[in-house]
Amino acid sequence: VDDKGKTTTLTKEQVVRGKRLFIASCASCHVGGGTRTNQNVGLAIEELSGATPNRATIEGLVDYLNNPTTYDGLKDISEVHPSIKGGDIWPKMRTMKQQDADSDALRVAGRVKP
């Protein structure tokens, strides 16, 4: 679901590619829908929707992969969370393209527990 409430149906290829990207780039810190950087915040829809800005949409997740911030949105955390912005710190993010971030976010959205 996007920020306007529109539902998107993923192709099998999008899911497969996103799954591979998630496993390669995110799974080591997001085991079982949790987060290593903040144990009080997981990947459940209700938790992501409480973030500022809202992270419970594909657009919100893509924005986070580009510009990660604290849950309240007040502090940049690109030095402690892999992001495209922090590619100089996070080697695995150096070659990630915007299309990859979009696919990864789609896969994260698929892994979020309702």
- Poorest-pLDDT segment among 34-38, 70-74, 104-108: 104-108
Give the model's pLDDT for residue 114.
41
Percent over 70 (pLDDT), the chain: 85
Residue range 16-26: mean pLDDT, rounded: 80
Tens of pLDDT, residue by residue over 41-71, are 888 888 888 999 998 887 888 888 888 999 9
| Phi, psi of 28, rounded to the nearest 5 degrees | -65, -25
Q: What is the chain's mean pLDDT, rounded?
A: 79
From CA 78, how far away is CA 69, in angstroms rounded? 7
From CA 107, how far away is CA 11, in angstroms rounded? 11
What SS3 string covers 37-100? Answer: CCCCCCCCHHHHHCCCCCCCCHHHHHHHHHCCECCCCCCECCCCCCCCCCCCCCHHHCCCCHHH
